[in-house]
Every structure is written in structure tokens, then in C-alpha cells.
Chains A and B, each alone.
Chain A
Amino acid sequence: DIQMTQSPSSVSASVGDRVTITCRASQGISRWLAWYQQKPGNAPRLLIYSASNLQSGVPARFSGSGSETDFTLTISSLQPEDFATYYCQQGDTFPLTFGGGTKVEIK
């Protein structure tokens, strides 16, 4: 199975900060990487697909990059509604796998 390792597991940041989350795959997955945001009590929400494509309706302050084994999610200017947990997920090979999550907390 492909292991997805996210870092950091949590980050404290202030409104307006630039936040970067990384996701590393245990083997190459081309660009088959998605990012999700989840708030407590809610289902996950797709933010980025195919490593760098912004899902419709997602603010442009979210961006994704990377290929093969190393990927990043960047929030350019953190907004109050962005405090949540973020997950990466590889779609290259079954079984699909998620990263462990990164909790973005208010500083």
C-alpha cells in the first residue's frame, strides 16, 4: 500500500498568515493527489484535485503543487473560515490512502 505522510500534524497560525502543508507519498503517484478540508461535524470538502487543480467554488487563496512523491497545499492568506483539518489522498493505486491530517489552529 502507498503510505501518505503529512506534516506538520498541527500548525498554529494567525489570520493573514501563509500556511504550507506537505504530503509525501511512499512511492510515485504521478499527479494523482487530492486535498480535502474538514470542519468538525462536517463531511470533507474537496479543495484540490490532480495535485494543482482548484475545485470549483474553492477560493483562489488555496493552491496545490507537486508531483510523484512530494506535494504541498498552500493557503496564501489564512482566513477565519480556514481553521480546519486538511487531508491529502492519493488516487494513483488501489487501495486509495489518506494522509493522517493536519489541524490548522488559531494562534
Chain B
Amino acid sequence: QVQLVQSGAEVKKPGASVTVSCKTSGYNFRNYGITWVRQAPGQGLEWMGYIRVYNGNTHDAEKFQGRVTMTTDTSTRTAYMELRNLRSDDTAVYYCAKGKHMYDATGGMDVWGQGTTVIVSS
């Protein structure tokens, strides 16, 4: 079955960087995009960005521009999200999710990773 398994929880100091990985299985990795979403404690869902795996093109939310990098490794079917210059308000659960539709993000996300907790604290 389709699975997305994320890396474990992280505790970082302000100004540091974090990389969250998302290892996929059970589907053709190249054909579906990966979306990254985060959720701060007690808050709603916040879209961070999207990567088209087949060509590496990315779209990210303006508030993260310059701080976030999304990549994929097709040899290991793994997606990565790096967030730099962490601040305390980056404390959140970070999710990766597979696109419902091939090649685009119109159909939402049908399979989600389990989430990775990132705590930013001095």
C-alpha cells in the first residue's frame, strides 16, 4: 500500500536548520507531487510548498521564501524539506503528503506522512 514515512522529532536552537525526510513506497514516485504542510500547536494547517517530482519544479509560500528548500531523491523515493534560520514560531508538526492527481496539485493530497515534530527552543 502507499506509505509516506517521515523522519523523527527534532529539537533545534533558533537560527539553526532542520531537514525533514519523507520516504515513500507503494506508488510511482515520479508521477505525483509532494506537498509540505505544517501545523503549529493548537493551530490550523499551513501550506508550505509543493514539488513536482518528475521535473523538480517547486512552489513555496511567500512567507518561507529564502528559508525553505524542497528536494527529492528518486533513487531512494524520498522527499526532503529543509527549513533554515529557525525561529521559535517554526515550532510545529511538519507533514509531507502525496498528491491525489498525477503531475499537479489540483486534487489535494490523498496520503500523508505521520508528521514530524520540530521544536525550536533556546
CB-CB under 8 A from B115, the residues of chain A are 43
Tell me if B114 and A43 are in contact (CB < 8 A).
yes
Question: What are 24 sample pairs from A and B whose C-beta atoms fall under 8 A apart?
Answer: A32-B106, A32-B107, A34-B100, A34-B109, A36-B108, A43-B113, A43-B114, A44-B37, A44-B45, A44-B95, A44-B109, A46-B108, A49-B107, A50-B107, A89-B45, A89-B108, A91-B105, A92-B106, A95-B60, A96-B35, A96-B50, A99-B44, A100-B44, A101-B44
CB-CB under 8 A from B112, the residues of chain A are 43-45
Q: Does B67 contact A (CB under 8 A)?
A: no
Give B contacts to A, CB under 8 Å: 35, 37, 44-47, 50, 59-62, 95, 97, 100, 105-110, 112-115
Q: How far is the CB of A56 from chain B (nearest CB, A)?
A: 8
Tell me if A50 and B61 are in contact (CB < 8 A).
no
Q: How far is the CA of A70 from the CA of B18 in the complex (A)?
A: 38
Closest partner residue, chain A, to B62 (CB atom): A95
Interface size on A, residues (CB 8 A): 24
Closest partner residue, chain B, to A96 (CB atom): B47
